[in-house]
Amino acid sequence: MGLLRIMMPPKIQLLAVLAFGVAMLLIENQIQKLHESRVRLERTIARHEVAEVEQRHSEDVGQGLSSLAEKDDMVIIYNRVPKTASTSFTNIAYDLCGKNRFHVLHINTTKNNPVMSLQDQVRFVRNVTSWRQMKPGFYHGHVAYLDFSKYGAKGKPMYINVVRDPIERLVSYYYFLRFGDDYRPGLRRRKQGDKKTFDECVSSGGSDCAPEKLWLQIPFFCGHHSECWNAGSRWALEQAKYNLVNEYLLVGVTEELEDFIMILEAALPRFFKGATELYRTGKKSHLRKTTEKKPPTKETIAKLQQSNVWKIENEFYEFALEQFQFVRAHAVREKDGELYVLAQSFFYEKIYPKVN
């Protein structure tokens, strides 16, 4: 072979090398195509095997069972924080419940007290877990988080929630108490007639705009421990963070409510199928705006931000926002200015024993 290379002209040698390279590329391309074909075949076989297993399972357990709706035990609790677009989101659930065949129940506590007595906690847990006629169920109300396992409940509901920038939430609540909103414009509010702006309230040291009024989102996530309601408690902050990560399926933010709804629809279509389109096109189901709301000045915001309560509440909000954005980054993609939900990115294979 060495003698042939010596006897071959340089041009012929170059052509031979090029021919060899092209041949290797063609061979590698064929190998890659064969590999891709094998992967597709394995996935097809795996899907077929999964389908057969599921069919066999459904045949085994399907006999004698009543309809799916009667056996659907899923329960969602939305312990909504005031002035975080909670009414807007809840109205979507009311609009969907008939079509998607689930129940919506409002948890109406005396004087909107978010803390239940111990006996009411036990009653509530018993109701939610054993009230079969109300399953599948979507419960919503201004109540603090409850750990169902603490009461010996066999099943735990799925919690969801929405949070908002602490100062924006307080400003909205301040004006809501005085002027109401466009949802029930004729209803007389507790502070109706008080024309003082939020800026004037902060400047004069009023109680309705005091930094302690910012302390609400943390205790709602922290729960029914006494320390949860101690304004500025770092223990409450850490407990709220723990519950958010470990006990809540999803926590969205008011500023990105549509993304929150889109992810919920993808994760829980049993409840939220059609929610995104309803939110985008609904005439009234998701619209609620506080009347006469005036944005605070930079001086007012800076004064509130000096307080320890704001710093801790804002730390929780930033934590929740970061977690939500992490979930969203792995659930949706943007294309041509529109968000779309990612398709399923896993499958099963190598399933044994083989189905005959």
Catalytic residue ranges:
140, 142
CA distances to 17, 24, 27, 37 from 31, in Å: 21, 10, 6, 10
CB 219 within 8 A of CB 229: yes
Which among 249, 289, 255 has a CA at the least distance from the CA of 163? 255
Work out whether the CA dihedral 180, 186, 191, 197 comes out positive or negative.
positive
Where do runs of H (alpha helix) occur along the chain? 2-7, 10-62, 68-71, 86-100, 118-130, 166-179, 198-204, 217-222, 234-247, 257-267, 269-272, 275-281, 298-304, 308-329
Which among 196, 302, 320, 353 has a CA at the least distance from the CA of 248? 320
Q: How far apart are CA 157 and CA 131, in angstroms?
A: 13
How many CA atoms within 13 Å lie on the side-chain side of 25?
Answer: 6
Q: How far apart are CA 115 and CA 118, in angstroms?
A: 9
Radius of gyration over alpha carbons of the chain, in Å? 29
**Partners of 106 in the beta sheet?**
140
- Cα–Cα–Cα angle for 169, 174, 177, nearest 5°? 120
CB 267 within 8 A of CB 250: yes
How many CA atoms within 13 Å lie on the side-chain side of 196?
Answer: 15
CB 295 within 8 A of CB 199: no
CB 303 within 8 A of CB 210: no
CA distances to 96, 202, 288, 308, 324 from 84, in Å: 20, 21, 11, 22, 15
